[in-house]
Amino acid sequence: MRLFFAPLLLAVLLSACAVEAQQPTKSHATKQKAKPMKPKTAAKASVAAEPVIVFRRTPCYGTCPHYEATIYPDGRVQYEGLQYAPVEGKREFKLPMAVVNQIKQDADQIGFFQMKEHYPTRFTDMPSTFLTIRRTDGTMKLVQAEDSIPPSLQKLFDYIHAEVVKGLGVTK
């Protein structure tokens, strides 16, 4: 009989303690004051923290460089080199603002935002190059290119690649 009442008594005591813990004491309730709301500046900061250019090259069945370079408005670059990349592994470096501005200006001059979204190939072993550019108004454009690329777009790809390689400190 004692074994029956012991668990029951324990359950009643625990539930009573739980109810008492949920009720704030008088001193606890008076200490809580409403905190003033802060203005939302996080939205502005998040826009500045978003990348303005993402340049990615995919692998092929050969020795095509496979890497991604994410470029931020302040020139900061987060780079990840995979197979046959100029540098393998993760790196962070900074491009001059003149280079970032030149990439965006060149993109505007060649009509990047009016280009097709995909320049496909018939061959399965061709690498792809992806370029995403985000304007200051937030509009973005992604172009995937494999074959039959307009010469002006290829020139932009070559310029971005050369600047990333230079930023990595690679001399080839």
In the chain, domain spans: 52-168
14 falls in which pLDDT band (50, 70, 90)? very low
pLDDT tens, residue by residue, 83-128: 999 999 999 999 999 999 999 999 999 999 999 999 988 877 789 9
If you average pLDDT over residues 49-59, what whole number do you get? 95
Whether the per-residue pLDDT at 16 is higher than 80: the answer is no
Whole-number pLDDT of residue 92: 97
Cβ atoms of 27 and 118 closer than 8 Å: no
Query: d(Cα 158, Cα 110) in Å, to the nearest integer?
Result: 14
DSSP three-state, residue 33 = coil
Q: Would the pTM of this model clear 0.75, i.e. be above it?
A: no
CATH of domain 52-168: 3.30.1560.10
